[in-house]
Amino acid sequence: MSKYKTIDSEQLVDIFKALANSHRLKIFNILTSCCTPGASCASDEVFSCCVGDLDSQLDIAASTLSHHLKELHRAGLIHMQRDGKQVYCSVNTDVMKQLENIFSSQLVGAQL
């Protein structure tokens, strides 16, 4: 039995809704940029980005960025941590591994 909570169908819907927005998808892609395709980040290698750094990479208002980050966080895709006046965001690698397992099992089940 896994020590991690498994993703239920409602959380999966929330994840897809969160990533269906082009700004949130771009933010999520920036946060996952530490990993090359096919690789996975170990928990001690998780890329963390300051919200101020994200703000400089996107052409959206700070309040809009804050809203999108809250939606990604609510869906369980990212962690947010405050350090003084700075807020750092990182990808929730547990959720990413669970998504990988879900899609891997679906692909294996679909092969004849």
For the chain, what is the domain count? 1
Q: Is position 112 within any domain?
A: no
pLDDT confidence of residue 108: 61
List, as own/partner pairs, every contact residues 40-48 make where C-beta atoms lie below 8 angstroms and the sequence separation is at least 24, other chains included: 40/93, 40/96, 40/97, 40/100, 41/91, 41/93, 43/93, 46/90, 46/91, 46/93, 47/90, 47/91, 48/81, 48/88, 48/89, 48/90
Q: Is position 62 within any domain?
A: yes
- Give the pLDDT means over successive 10-residue stretches in the chain (112 positions): 66 95 94 58 56 82 93 94 87 90 72 52
Q: Is position 67 within any domain?
A: yes
pLDDT in tens, 61-87: 989 999 999 999 999 999 998 888 888
CATH number at residue 14: 1.10.10.10
Q: Is position 76 within any domain?
A: yes
Which residue range forms the structural domain that includes residue 71?
Answer: 9-107
pLDDT confidence of residue 47: 56
